[in-house]
Amino acid sequence: MKNDLGFLCLDLKQTVEHNTLMSIIRSIIDNNPFNQVCVFNHSSSRTGYENVPVLPISHCKFFEGDLFLFDILSLSMSKNFPGIKTKYLYYPSIPWTPPNNYYMMWKDLLKDSDLKIITTDTVLQQIYKTCWDIDTKNIENFSYEGITNAIQ
Amino acid sequence: MIKIFLPEINSKFYNNIRHLSDNLLEVHSYAPIDIYKIHNRISANAYIFDSSYVSSEIVQFINEYSELPTKTFIYHRNSHLNKDMIRYIKKSNHIISHNLFDEFSKYKNTIQLPEHIINEKIFYRTNFKERIDREVYLLDNDKEIPKYISDRLLPNKKDSKTILFNNSSIPHAQNLGILTETDKAKILNEYKYYVCDEHAEYMTEAFSCGCVILDKNFSEIQFDNSDIQTFSQFVKKIL
């Protein structure tokens, strides 16, 4: 891993998905001891954090490295964060659906040279390519291997 | 200074007139409710109403004020042509699209909206370099995606190159969203092909922005640019 890595996860919950996410982040930390890896978050209802550093979202603005995102709110929030080198958006769907689909807003968000989109199937990959001329990475399972392959 | 009142409606005609505001022309756009109140506030020289919304108050207003120096117009969009209105509201001028005009040309108070009309301040060519190899289709007047377009979209066509714009009531992955007139000019400068809809509404604009124009069979149309009029010429003429 070249750069430090932050995960912007606005709302951490005690769900299966977030348990998997935390264990993946733990594995990334274990396998990259010379990099800083942490989670930025706004609210949390978790009881345990698997020894993953969790920082308030305000710290994200001053983070230097790559940022992993899971929703459009985080993407728009982090648009002008100065220290972010590459943003990875894991989005298993398409965000520009009606009624809130103002083309220029989506173009501004998605056609960003620092943004890499990670999709979950080849159909989505094709839609992104057709609609926005964006090459996306595809990971079928949200796993340690999938994430590390996507961010390399 | 000439003042024009327009209803707040999202259609090509109104959107383009709205962009004509300059030192000599002031365009005011409101919902056409309490028209007397609006008249007291702005006292416009010309009022353009939409045939889809002509209330009894507006009819009364037209009867009272449709004499010089105030002029009133009713614009009939293709989808909202009202024949009775043209017959019975005689004090107002009626603006009708070129394709429907022949039927009503016998009435003195009708004005034909030219076939090729463009706002030259917005739609002009800015991109002379390489364009993105996609077909643009504007869904402005559609209630659903036309068959000849849906055949070329995912999942019906795997290597689809068609993208859709400007209708938030038609959900499709390739419908990329709402555009303003200036956004449309950017789009028509960015992409290579423009596919005509039923009324070929933005064909003139696509030609001016340098797009290749395709018909319903996706074959290229040679556009005749000899009779292009501008919205500013049209507005000056009718005022």
A14-34 mean pLDDT: 94
Question: Which residues, 6 or more positions from A73, have their beta carbon under 8 angstroms from its beta carbon?
Answer: A10
ipTM: 0.86
Residue A130: list chain B partners with CB under 8 A.
Answer: 134, 154, 160-161, 163, 174
Q: How far away is chain A from the Cα of B178, in angstroms, using its nearest Cα?
A: 5
Q: What is the pLDDT of residue A7?
A: 96
- pLDDT above 90: residue B124: yes
Q: Between chains, do B173 and A94 touch, taking CB under 8 Å as contact?
A: yes
Least confident interval from A21-35, A53-67, B100-114: B100-114
The amino acid at residue B199 is H
Q: What is the pLDDT of residue A143?
A: 92
**In angstroms, rounded to a whole number, what is the distance separating the alpha carbons of residues A137 and A22?**
22
Whether the CB of A104 is below 8 Å from some CB of chain B: the reply is yes
Start-to-end Cα distance in chain A: 7
Q: Between chains, do B179 and A127 touch, taking CB under 8 Å as contact?
A: no
Q: Between chains, do A103 and B179 touch, taking CB under 8 Å as contact?
A: yes
Give A131-149 pLDDT, tens digit per residue: 999 999 999 888 999 999 9
B17-38 mean pLDDT: 90
Task: Report chain A's mean pLDDT, rounded to a whole number.
Answer: 92
Can you tell me whether residue A135 is helix, strand or coil? coil
Whether the CB of B10 is below 8 Å from some CB of chain A: the reply is no
**Residues A120, A146 contacting (CB under 8 angstroms):** no
Size of interface A-B (CB pairs under 8 A): 52
**Residues B218, B135 contacting (CB under 8 angstroms):** yes
Residue B171: which of A97, A123, A126 has the nearest Cβ? A97
Q: How far away is chain B from the Cα of A128, in angstroms, using its nearest Cα?
A: 9
Half-sphere exposure of B130 (CA within 13 A, CB side): 2
- H-assigned helices in chain A: 16-31, 72-77, 103-110, 122-132, 144-151
Q: What is the pLDDT of residue A19?
A: 93
B22-26 mean pLDDT: 87
Q: How far away is chain B from the Cα of A13, in angstroms, using its nearest Cα?
A: 30
Q: Between chains, do A101 and B177 touch, taking CB under 8 Å as contact?
A: yes
B64-77 mean pLDDT: 87
Strand pairing class (A43-44; A37-41): unpaired
Q: What is the pLDDT of residue B165?
A: 94
Residue B163: which of A98, A102, A131 has the nearest Cβ? A131
Whether the CB of A129 is below 8 Å from some CB of chain B: the reply is no
Q: How far away is chain B from the Cα of A15, in angstroms, using its nearest Cα?
A: 29
**Residues B192, B132 contacting (CB under 8 angstroms):** yes
* Better-predicted residue by pLDDT, B103 or B38: B38
**In angstroms, rounded to a whole number, what is the distance separating the alpha carbons of residues A104 and B186?**
10
**In angstroms, rounded to a whole number, what is the distance separating the alpha carbons of residues B168 and B171?**
7
- pLDDT above 80: residue A100: no
**The two structure tokens encoding residue A149:** 């392959």
Portion of chain B with pLDDT greater than 90, in percent = 64
- pLDDT above 90: residue B104: no
Q: Between chains, do A98 and B179 touch, taking CB under 8 Å as contact?
A: no
Among B181, B141, B190, residue whose Cα is nearest residue B163: B190
Q: What is the pLDDT of residue B102?
A: 80
Distances in Å between the alpha carbon of A145 and those of A119, A140, B138, B152, B238? Answer: 15, 11, 42, 37, 68
Q: What is the pLDDT of residue B22?
A: 85
**The two structure tokens encoding residue B153:** 């979209």
Q: Between chains, do B178 and A102 touch, taking CB under 8 Å as contact?
A: yes
Q: What is the pLDDT of residue A136?
A: 93
Can you tell me whether residue A117 is helix, strand or coil? strand
Q: What is the dihedral of CA A76, A79, A83, A89, to 10 degrees?
A: 60
Residue B178: list chain A partners with CB under 8 A.
Answer: 101-103
**Residues B51, B28 contacting (CB under 8 angstroms):** no
Among B72, B28, B12, B80, residue whose Cα is nearest residue B51: B80
Distances in Å between the alpha carbon of B233 and those of B47, B97, B120, B169? Answer: 17, 16, 10, 34
This model's pTM is above 0.80:
yes
Q: In B, residues 99-158, which contact A (CB 8 Å cutoff)?
A: 132, 134, 154-155, 158
- pLDDT above 90: residue B182: yes
- pLDDT above 80: residue B79: no
